[in-house]
Amino acid sequence: MRDDSLEYAAQQASKGNGECFVLLCNALKERLFYTAKGILGDESLALDAVSEAVYRAYKGIKRLREPRYAGTWFTRILLNVSTARRFHIHLSIPQMWDLVVPNRMDLDELAQ
C-alpha cells in the first residue's frame, strides 16, 4: 500500500470506518509481526502481542492525531505491548541463581 493511500485509510479509520482500519492493519501486519518477534523471540508470543496491539489501536483510533504517522503510532503501541510482555515473561522465568543448590553447611544447619 502506498504512503498516501495508507494515510487516507488511517484518516478514514480515525473517523470510524472499520473497513479502512482493516486495510491499515493488513498493510502493517508484516512489519508489526517482525518487530514483535524481534522483541519477544517467539512467533506465538509475537502473534499474541500483535493481536493485543491491534485491539488497543482499534479502541484508540479516534485519538490518532496525524494520519500520516499511523504506522509509527501502531508500532509504538506494539512496542509497549511487547516490552510489557517481555518484562512479564522475564519475571516469571526462574533465574539460574534461584536454582542454586545449598552447600553442605546449609544442609547441616537444616538437619539440626
**For the domain with range 3-94, which CATH number is right: 2.60.120.200, 3.90.1300.10, 1.10.1740.10, 3.40.470.10?**
1.10.1740.10
Question: What is this structure's pTM?
Answer: 0.75
Domain positions in the chain: 3-94
Please give the pLDDT value at position 108: 56
- CA 99/CA 112 separation, integer angstroms: 23
Please give the pLDDT value at position 42: 87
User: C-alpha grid cell for residue 5?
Assistant: 493511500
Query: Mean pLDDT of successive 10-residue segments in the chain (112 residues)?
Result: 82 93 94 93 92 95 92 94 82 50 54 58
Please give the pLDDT value at position 1: 63
User: C-alpha grid cell for residue 6?
Assistant: 495508507
- Three-state secondary structure string covering the chain: CCHHHHHHHHHHHHCCCHHHHHHHHHHHHHHHHHHHHHHHCCHHHHHHHHHHHHHHHHHHHHHCCCHHHHHHHHHHHHHHHHHHHHHHHHHHCCCHHHHCCCCHHHHHHHHC
Please give the pLDDT value at position 85: 87
